[in-house]
């Protein structure tokens, strides 16, 4: 049974559904109609992106007669499409945060449609590259708006990671195959049936560009007419204040810069990306020469890329399961460090087989880091600034990746190749080895720095988290849950409220008092009678349903944010009342409670030990209360590490002083509190 972990933290074992297959999680997300339609739109635009890359490269080579110019056609198409992202990427985030995201996406799609049609009609080399540059500018507007809007379409924050996975599968998997297949089909049909209007093949390339334009036009129509939810905003107090103080684009830029500087998790995220993509750029930029140094030639080059992408796919696929056992802010830095160490091994590898394994590990680390980073932005950055942070993230990725790829050949050329014999095998040691070695060291160091920036669990060692992950234990939340249990609802509600007020006054940033009118047994019985349900099992099921809703809707999200949650009559009091009053099996009731609360148990349970004979006659049968108090006392005796028994007799203020002192002492003893010491007079 889950509950207290080794150090007393509140823990919850993930239910089998939350750890279910990717198919189950994907179906859950795709059942959301607005996201499903956006996913379809992503398919159209991604197919258009890959199709345009092939068509424009082919058209560019046919529009030039010089052999050298033709050899640079593909590179020119790629460069002119990436250049806007290198120069102006943050502007896309500004538009995503300033204007209606749906309208921005519609405008960008219509503009891309017109640009591709104009490239096909004009048929000029200079306009091909200029138009492609403008297409890149439109993508610069479209992508941050789409990424920032996705979390607002989902039902729960935990679906963001699955949504990101689906988006990447679509963009870099299904769409690539579809785009390349469509291009091959069109060109193959035109060639075999001799449908090309001239020998150059320019006519087919232009037809493909026109089809491409229609794909973007279809996307614009769907976004404009079928996904109005893209205009949805999550308006927070922060956003309202920002809107009131905002004076223009420069103010938004300053706000984004201030947010990055003052938010450790975002700062660490961006720092980590520097090392991750510098290492990736070094690997891609030196891959061909590195394959030659292994004696494998072009075949080894292809295998290395296959291994890299297998690793990326594996990392993205396993990231959600790892996030169940490691907090994402720790998982991100650890993944980058693992990728850096793997790159060190790649640099030292003497054989292709070793290189393939280490490259796959490197790819897995990079895949975990990338998906985790995007998920952190989607779940922990508020809607008002999410577009700008997404844009900064994307621009850093492109700038560092392109810079590393461009710089790597220069650095490799500084080292002359040497042949050495290792284990009877001749190995070429050229400039790729020190470059990969340096990039691996950089990635590992930056990963450590990012980890230290983002880690908010300094009181817990990373070793304990890693051991918990290896042992498949659930991720521990950073917050704390304190339950106040007792015989009567009046006692527990009074003391829970007083305790929450004291904790707020003591300086804790966020304290949640989790309570609900339905937890009052009298009200609960009234609901059951009104519904025509009078059995004890119905009573137990309704009580479990109320607690399940509270855990999912309030308690667990607050614990994940690092809040301190005070809960009255969480599990033990209802269980004691039901087992005494109805004679239900305590083991069955505990199993039902485990299922309803996802096996969540408090860090500290305050049990109010009240003499039943002092209760007012209206409080119920004296014999019943004696039995309930006896059951609660037995529970505390069976688990003394979690329970703190407090004398519940006397005035509410006197009982509160005893509760406060017990909580303060227990928190200090377990070294779980981050509160400043509070003098004894504070609670009186």
| pLDDT tens digit sequence for 442-473 | 999 988 888 888 876 555 556 655 665 556 55
Question: What structural domains does the chain harbor?
Answer: 32-233 (1.20.1250.20), 257-476 (1.20.1250.20), 480-683 (3.40.50.300)
pTM value surpassing 0.75: no
Cβ within 8 Å of residue 456, ≥6 positions away: 264, 265, 327, 329, 478, 562
Residue 165, both tokens: 């996975």
Q: Which of 427, 407, 483, 115 is nearest to 291 (CA)?
A: 427
Using DSSP, state whether 457 is helix, strand or coil: coil
Residue 372, both tokens: 């985790």
- Determine the pLDDT at residue 190: 76
- Determine the pLDDT at residue 618: 46
Cβ within 8 Å of residue 673, ≥6 positions away: 480, 667
Residue 578, both tokens: 């039901």
Dihedral (CA of 446, 452, 455, 461) sign: positive
- Determine the pLDDT at residue 39: 95
Give exposure, 347-386, as e/b (b: 16+ Cβ within 10 Å). Answer: bebbebeebbbbbbbbbbbbbbbbbbbbbbbbbbbbbbbb
Element (H, E) at 646: strand 643-647
Q: Which of 163, 408, 152, 391 is nearest to 282 (CA)?
A: 408
| Crossing angle for the helix pair 297-323 and 352-380, to the nearest 10 degrees | 40
**Phi (first) and psi of residue 475, to 5 degrees:** -65, 140
The model's pLDDT over 374-403, given as tens digits with 9 standing for 90+, comes to 888 887 777 778 888 877 777 777 778 777
Q: Which of 75, 68, 61, 74 is nearest to 200 (CA)?
A: 61
Question: Which long-range contacts does 163-167 make (Cβ < 8 Å, 24+ apart)?
Answer: 163/29, 163/35, 163/378, 164/371, 164/374, 164/375, 164/378, 165/22, 165/26, 165/316, 165/317, 165/319, 165/320, 165/371, 166/26, 166/29, 166/30, 166/39, 167/39, 167/42
Spans in the chain with pLDDT lower than 70: 1-22, 64-75, 86, 89-90, 193-202, 234-250, 252-253, 298, 418-428, 456-478, 508-509, 516-535, 561, 581-583, 615-622, 668-684
**In angstroms, rounded to a whole number, what is the distance separating the alpha carbons of residues 601 and 4?**
7
- Determine the pLDDT at residue 186: 86
For residue 82, give Cα distances in angstroms to 285, 286, 399: 16, 20, 9
**In angstroms, rounded to a whole number, what is the distance separating the alpha carbons of residues 79 and 255?**
31
- Determine the pLDDT at residue 339: 92
**In angstroms, rounded to a whole number, what is the distance separating the alpha carbons of residues 237 and 402?**
39
Tell me if 513 sits within 8 A of 566, measured CB to CB. Answer: yes
Distance of CA 207 to the CA centre of its chain: 40
- Determine the pLDDT at residue 224: 95
The model's pLDDT over 631-671, given as tens digits with 9 standing for 90+, comes to 788 787 777 777 888 888 888 888 888 888 888 887 766 54
- Determine the pLDDT at residue 222: 96
């Amino acid at each position: 049974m889950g509950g207290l972990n080794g150090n007393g933290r509140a823990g919850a074992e993930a239910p089998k559904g939350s750890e279910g297959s990717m198919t189950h999680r994907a179906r859950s997300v795709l059942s959301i109609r607005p996201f499903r339609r956006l996913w379809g739109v992503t398919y159209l635009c991604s197919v258009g992106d890959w199709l345009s890359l092939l068509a424009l490269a082919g058209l560019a080579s046919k529009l030039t007669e010089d052999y050298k110019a033709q050899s640079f056609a593909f590179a020119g198409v790629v460069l002119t499409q990436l250049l806007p992202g290198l120069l102006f990427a943050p502007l896309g985030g500004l538009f995503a945060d300033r204007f209606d995201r749906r309208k921005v996406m519609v405008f960008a799609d219509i503009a891309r449609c017109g640009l591709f049609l104009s490239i096909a009609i004009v048929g000029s080399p200079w306009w091909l590259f200029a138009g492609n540059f403008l297409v890149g500018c439109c993508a610069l507007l479209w992508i941050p708006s789409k990424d920032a809007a996705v979390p607002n379409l989902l039902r729960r924050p935990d679906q963001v990671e699955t949504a990101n996975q689906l988006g990447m599968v679509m963009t870099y998997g299904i769409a690539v195959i579809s785009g390349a297949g469509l291009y091959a089909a069109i060109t193959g049909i035109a060639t075999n049936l001799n449908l090309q209007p001239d020998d150059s093949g320019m006519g087919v390339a232009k037809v493909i560009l026109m089809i491409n334009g229609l794909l973007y036009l279809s996307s614009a129509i769907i976004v404009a007419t079928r996904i109005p939810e893209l205009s949805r905003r999550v308006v927070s107090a922060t956003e309202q204040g920002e809107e009131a103080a905002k004076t223009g684009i420069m103010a938004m830029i300053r706000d984004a810069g201030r947010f990055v500087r003052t938010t450790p998790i975002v700062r660490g995220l961006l720092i980590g990306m520097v090392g991750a993509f510098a290492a990736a750029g070094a690997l891609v930029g030196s891959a061909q020469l590195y394959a030659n140094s292994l004696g494998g030639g072009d075949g080894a080059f292809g295998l290395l890329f296959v291994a890299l992408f297998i690793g990326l796919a594996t990392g993205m696929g396993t990231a959600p399961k790892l996030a169940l056992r490691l907090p994402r802010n720790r998982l991100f830095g650890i993944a980058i460090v693992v990728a850096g160490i793997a790159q060190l091994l790649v640099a030292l590898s003497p054989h292709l087989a070793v290189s393939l394994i280490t490259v796959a590990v490197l790819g897995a680390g990079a895949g975990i880091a990338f998906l985790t980073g995007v998920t952190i932005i989607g779940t922990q950055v508020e809607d008002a600034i999410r577009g700008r942070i997404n844009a900064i993230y994307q621009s850093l990725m492109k700038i560092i990746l392109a810079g590393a790829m461009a710089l790597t050949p220069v650095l490799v050329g500084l080292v002359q190749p040497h042949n050495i014999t290792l284990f009877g095998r001749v190995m070429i040691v050229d400039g790729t080895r020190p470059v990969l070695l340096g990039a691996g060291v950089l990635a590992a160091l930056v990963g450590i720095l990012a980890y230290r920036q983002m880690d908010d669990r300094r009181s817990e060692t990373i070793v304990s988290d890693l051991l918990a992950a290896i042992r498949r234990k659930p991720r521990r939340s950073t917050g704390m849950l304190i339950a106040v249990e007792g015989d009567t609802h009046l006692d527990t509600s009074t003391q829970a409220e007083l305790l929450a007020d004291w904790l707020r006054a003591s300086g804790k940033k966020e304290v949640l008092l989790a309570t609900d009118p339905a937890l009052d047994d009298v009200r609960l019985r009234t609901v059951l009678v009104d519904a025509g349900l009078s059995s004890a099992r119905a009573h137990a099921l309704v009580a479990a349903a109320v607690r399940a809703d509270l855990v999912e809707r309030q308690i667990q999200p607050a614990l994940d944010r690092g809040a301190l949650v005070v809960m009255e009559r969480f599990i033990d009091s209802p269980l004691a009342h039901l087992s005494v009053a109805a004679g239900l099996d305590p083991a069955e009731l505990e199993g039902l409670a485990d299922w309803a609360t996802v096996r969540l148990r408090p860090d500290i349970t305050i049990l109010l030990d009240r003499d039943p004979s002092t209760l007012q006659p209206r409080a119920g049968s004296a014999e019943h209360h004696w039995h309930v108090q006896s059951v609660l006392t037995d529970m505390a005796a069976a688990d003394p590490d979690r329970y703190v028994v407090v004398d519940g007799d006397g005035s509410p203020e006197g009982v509160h002083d005893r509760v406060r002192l017990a909580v303060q002492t227990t928190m200090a003893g377990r070294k779980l509190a981050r509160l400043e010491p509070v003098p004894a007079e504070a609670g009186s």
